[in-house]
Amino acid sequence: MTSIEALFDADAIGADLLLQLPGLPEQRLEPFGSEQPVGLRSTAAPEKFAQAVYTFVPGLSGTRSNQSEAKAVPAGSEQGAGQICGGPDRIRSLVRENVRLAFLNSLLTRIGGHLEVPSILSGLSSVLADFSIKAQPSLILWERSGSEIARSEAFLPQGLGQRQRDILHELTQSGQDLMHRHLGHIQLRHFEDPNGPTTLFEALSTVTKPLESGGQVFGIFRLDASACSMAIMNQGLLSCLVQQLAQQIAGAMTVSRLQRLAEFDPLTGLPNRRQFDRRLAEELKRHQRQLRPLSAIMLDLDDFKVVNDSQGHQAGDALLRHMGRFIASCIRETDIAARYGGEEFAILLPDTDEGEAEVLALRLLTRNAETGVSFEADSPSGTFSLGIACLQPGEAPDGSTLIHRADLALYSAKQSGKNTSRRYSQL
């Protein structure tokens, strides 16, 4: 592990990096006095010190001590115990370039194998911690559909407390200022950060950078750091970090987009039939193992064909989009709603009996009556019918049985005049 800090001293020659090299007592190297060529000092034995520096900074070994070259100085000399000295520009550039390469290698190792943004950010946080850089990353990402923002996500470290709202607001504002448009609803996600809350940092400094890929800006990266750590990042590490991070996250977003296309309905934003069937199989196993009830609601839009025929398919699509948002806003986090096919939706309710499922069905009907979609006069309204079924604890048919029962209850609701619900147990 290589750790770095930065020292800025108006009396010293420029801004010199302090290094901690593995295997050295106290692991602290310092620039020594400006009366000598700028170099590095350690309390280690000169041979051990020289070996460590030569290993870390290729190009210093076997050179003479003058303004452009370096060598090891024996312990006990006036310059102190074990020193490497040489021209300021050469030593500084060699050290910084090797630090940059070490940082880049560690970064690629930690984030290169991840295809999920939270894992990438956790890997980045680990690299910062390894280099003793007290900094905390966060970012906001968006996907475009034509000229519009189709999807936005923010990724913040866990444990921010009251600072979370401020950081999210500032990230959102930075993104909107950059794109000159509203980012819409932003989904908030968290990741683990070994550095801990930035409230522990002294002299907090913040920088934001756009994330780009293929000439398109798709996000804003933010780094909160101590003043000292930010100085380190400004020694060429920040630009290196942003470039690699943008490439990795762009790849992760592509994978995520393909997964959504495979598992989510693009019109409503809800899971599709494929993902619903997978989740149904998972919940059925849990129902059998834990002996808990499992309910399902099948929802079908009333007179949807008439809406398409009288108002056009764009009106039908608008109704489906509305229903996707409407259903998602009414269910619990543990429930699973999906577009089952055409104008039919399915809702899976774990740990819910038939009576409790009916409460949700009535809530859907009531809220839709209050806020439903309005069409032109004398045209059908956006109503729907619902069928409810439940597998009792200990009952162990397959998932298709539960859906079939809910479908039978739905058919009964349609036959009863529509815009209502029916329970399978009452058929």
CATH of range 273-426; options 3.30.230.70, 3.40.50.1820, 3.30.70.270, 2.60.40.1290:
3.30.70.270
Chain segment 239-290, per-residue pLDDT in tens: 889 999 999 999 999 988 888 788 889 889 899 999 999 999 999 999 989 9
Q: Give the three-state DSSP class for 421.
A: strand
> What confidence score (pLDDT) does residue 373 get?
59
Q: Where are the domains positioned within the chain?
A: 3-102, 112-263, 273-426
Using only the alpha carbons of the chain, give its radius of gyration. 31
Judged against a pLDDT cut of 90, whether residue 205 lies above it is answered with no
Backbone φ and ψ of 36, nearest 5° = -110, 160
**Number of C-beta neighbours around residue 400 at 10 A:** 10
Q: Which residues pair with 205 in a beta bridge?
A: 225
> What confidence score (pLDDT) does residue 151 get?
85
Judged against a pLDDT cut of 60, whether residue 64 lies above it is answered with no
The tokens for 332 are 């619990």
Q: Which residues pair with 15 in a beta bridge?
A: 8
Architecture of domain 112-263: 2-Layer Sandwich (3.30)
Distance CA 384, CA 413 (A): 10
Do the beta carbons of residue 322 and residue 407 sit within 8 Å? Answer: no
Distance CA 424, CA 427 (A): 5
Chain segment 22-52, per-residue pLDDT in tens: 444 443 333 333 333 334 444 444 444 444 4
Distance CA 247, CA 51 (A): 36
> What confidence score (pLDDT) does residue 90 get?
61
Judged against a pLDDT cut of 80, whether residue 228 lies above it is answered with no
Chain segment 124-162, per-residue pLDDT in tens: 999 888 877 888 899 999 988 777 888 899 999 988 888
Do the beta carbons of residue 295 and residue 388 sit within 8 Å? Answer: yes
> What confidence score (pLDDT) does residue 202 get?
54
Chain segment 352-409, per-residue pLDDT in tens: 999 999 999 999 999 998 876 554 434 446 799 999 999 998 887 788 899 999 999 9
Assign residue 373 a region (left: φ > 0; alpha: ψ between -120 and 50; beta: otherwise): beta
What DSSP string describes 62-123?
A: T--SSSS--EEE-TTBTTBSSEEE--HHHHHHHHHHHHHHHHHHHHHHHHTT--SHHHHHHH
Judged against a pLDDT cut of 80, whether residue 117 lies above it is answered with yes
Taking the mean position of all CA atoms in its chain, how far away is CA 418?
43
Do the beta carbons of residue 152 and residue 186 sit within 8 Å? Answer: yes
Averaged confidence pLDDT in the chain: 77
**Total-model pTM:** 0.58
Do the beta carbons of residue 221 and residue 245 sit within 8 Å? Answer: yes
